[in-house]
Structure 1
Amino acid sequence: MDLSNTMKWLTGAFELLLGIPLLGASIVLGFGYGPLGIMLILHIITLLICRREMTGTTGSIFGIVTSIIAVIPFVGMVMHLITGFILLIDAARSR
């Protein structure tokens, strides 16, 4: 499995975790919005790896946007779920 695919699985799983209604909000608020910054960095790294390996970048771009607008409570939850599914579907198709 190539590195871009591994990063898509990893970031997709983290996005789905943050999209779980009470759990994701507790994680984000409990750590002072730090997880959003960490996810932003992970999505940028994934985007760069995907560009280098010439694989799909849609999920990473969605992830970057999600990390930025996720400070809006319910919008963030929905965006985390959408982004997580996009990343996991992209990773599954890349096999």
Structure 2
Amino acid sequence: MVISGVMKLIGSGMEFFLVIPGIGGTFILSLLWIPLLFMLVYHIVTLVLSRNSNQKIWGPVVGIVASTIGIIPLLGMLLHWAAFICLLIDGILTLSRGPKDSPETTKVV
């Protein structure tokens, strides 16, 4: 499904913003960790959409882990890097799979 792939790519962009040294940490701390809560909800929604369209879910799962454990400063930055990379790869693979190969449109002859 295209929407889950696009949401994974948008999520990877938001994760990239959070891992910019100095800027991401300041953004999270200045808003009292609310961005981590927002990202947690965003990744859960992406996970549900991916699951419903029979797409891979490893990108959103890594994002959920990064958002929940991300309150620990250095570990959080490393986890957000992992989430950025995983969501980017997962989103590209989801979109490149296309509707032709998706299980909903595959016909059994």
CA RMSD of aligned residues (A): 1.0
> Which residue matches 2:19?
19
Secondary structure of 1:21's partner? coil
Q: Deviations along 1:29-68, whole A, 9 cap, x unmatched? A: 1111000000000000000000011111001001111101
- TM score, norm. by length of structure 1: 0.96
**Richer in helix (by share):** 1
Please give the TM-score of this superposition, normalised by the length of structure 2: 0.84
- Runs (4+) off by over 3 Å: none
Matched, 1:75 2:101: no
Amino acid at match of 2:73: P
Give the corresponding residue for 2:91.
Answer: 91
Matching residue's letter, 2:12 = G
* Distance (Å, rounded) in 2 between the aligned partners of 1:77 and 1:19: 6
Q: Percent identity?
A: 36
Q: Does 1:66 pair with 2:69?
A: no
**Structure whose alpha-carbon radius of gyration is higher:** 2
